[in-house]
Amino acid sequence: MDYMILIHTDENAYPAPGTPEFDAYMARWFAYNQRLMDGGHWITGGSLKPTPATTTIRRTASGSAVTDGPYIETKEQLGGYYLIRAKDLDEALDLAEGVPLPEASIEVRPIMFRPDAD
């Protein structure tokens, strides 16, 4: 079964690119990515640009409106995702526990339909 791991965290709580702290931070992510790949769980994944790069389309019965920025104000932002393959929810949760963040909200959701799935 395929699962989406959605990672919500404070995008301002982590080191700036180009610093030794950032390199150490990214090393943990590269190791986690490799764990998923080596175990045959990796389908895809990625980190998102910070919220100022967001554009939101809000649809209502009367039409659509396009605005800059995320659609809600919150301390945690959706910062990235993984699409993984796991034998069951327990394995997916175990894999999600490995996300290398000390503080985050990590949502694990089964994929209901994927037109490109095997």
What's the whole-model pTM score? 0.84
Q: What is the CATH number of the domain that holds 66?
A: 3.30.70.1060
Q: Write the pLDDT tens digit of every residue in 9-67.
A: 888 888 989 999 999 999 999 999 999 999 999 999 999 888 888 888 888 899 998 88
- Better-scored residue on pLDDT, 6 or 103: 6
Q: Is the C-alpha dihedral spanning 7, 12, 16, 20 positive or negative?
A: negative
Domain assignment present for 10: yes
pLDDT at residue 118, rounded to an integer: 65
Q: In terms of residue numbers, what domain contains 79?
A: 2-110
The number of distinct structural domains making up the chain is 1
The whole-number pLDDT of residue 58 equals 82
Asked if residue 116 belongs to a domain, the reply is no
Long-range CB contacts (< 8 A, 24+ apart) of 66-70? Answer: none
